[in-house]
Amino acid sequence: MDKFSQAEIAHFRTEGYVTAPRLFNAREVQAMQVELDYFKQNGLGRNVATEGDGQTHSTTKINYQIIPLNDKSTLFRALPFAPHVATRVGQLIGEPFARHLDQIFLKPGRTGAGTSWHTDNAYFQLSDVTKGVGMWVALHDATLANGTLHVIPRSHLETFAHTRDLGSDHHITFAADDQRAVPIELAAGGAVFFNYGIGHGTKANNTDAERAGLAYHFLHADYVATGRLTDGVVYITGPQASGGLHEYGVNVADAWAQEVAARTP
């Protein structure tokens, strides 16, 4: 299925999140992993984990963040325009919509650190949390043991006071009741979508193998002006959308399949 069912959309509306377990196929996953290897080999990310003071970078805990992606990778630049992604985002937050962030969090085996509880709207400050959606894609199988993303269902109906996360050099966090959290276990290529008000976070990677999560943030075009956004906004659908031509100088609207093919045998 290239889109969400009515039941899945209803789940997103009431619970604040919904999963798409096989959003990307094996070939697409392989292409994204090839790109991740390129980022790693070229040192395009950095460890944001700190020693409990919010400043001193840790040598024993690693939360390797690569942000943004669209200036480093034509594959990830094309991804939000892929029909199986864009259709779903439109179903959840309505059209037209824009993308405003893309990033990867890589957690090496054993040393990989989680990203503490937060809501995305604590950063972005949209006037309506349901008009923004995060899409988190498992680039490797994401399990309880390797610290997959956890969400707090219906937490978008509450607000949480955030403070600086002292385990990171720039993140913010709030104290959550872990009992309310639901772990989202996904095979590589699966995704979870959650609205900007949903409390979420990842845990330490207690396995030997690395695990990475790919995160995109989308918002309804009518709400762009209400937010405090930290990256260039790229319109994906609607009258302001140019397939990326206005923002990147090149139209990448139909480039996804070609970008995948270029990285896979």
Ligand X SMILES: O=C(O)CCC(=O)C(=O)O
Residues within the interface to ligand X (CB under 6 A): 105, 115, 120, 134, 136, 200, 202, 213, 215
> Residue 1 Cβ, how far from ligand X at the closest point, in Å?
23
Smaller CB separation from ligand X, 61 or 255: 61
Q: Which residue is nearest to ligand X (CB)?
A: 215
Q: How far is the CB of 237 from ligand X (least distance, A)?
A: 21
Q: Distance between CA 96 and CA 224 in Å, rounded? A: 11
Return the number of the residue (73 or 146) whose C-beta is nearest ligand X.
146
Nearer to ligand X, 197 or 213 (CB): 213
The least distance separating ligand X from the CB of residue 142, rounded to whole angstroms, comes to 9
Minimum Å gap between C-beta 213 and ligand X is: 3
Minimum CB distance to ligand X smaller for 214 or for 241: 214
Cα–Cα distance for residue pair 125/262, rounded to 1 Å: 38
Residue number with CB closer to ligand X (58 or 202): 202
CB of 64 to ligand X, least distance (A): 10
Of 188 and 255, which CB lies nearer to ligand X in the complex structure?
188
Q: Which is nearer to ligand X, 31 or 215 (CB)?
A: 215
- Cα-atom radius of gyration of the chain, to the nearest Å? 17
Give dist(CA 93, CA 220) in Å, integer. Answer: 6
As a whole number of angstroms, the distance between CA 191 and CA 19 comes to 6
Q: CB of 139: closest distance to ligand X in angstroms?
A: 10
Question: Residue 139 phi/psi, 5° resolution?
Answer: -85, -15
Under 8 Å between Cβ of 71 and 200? no
Minimal distance, residue 182 CB to ligand X, in Å: 15
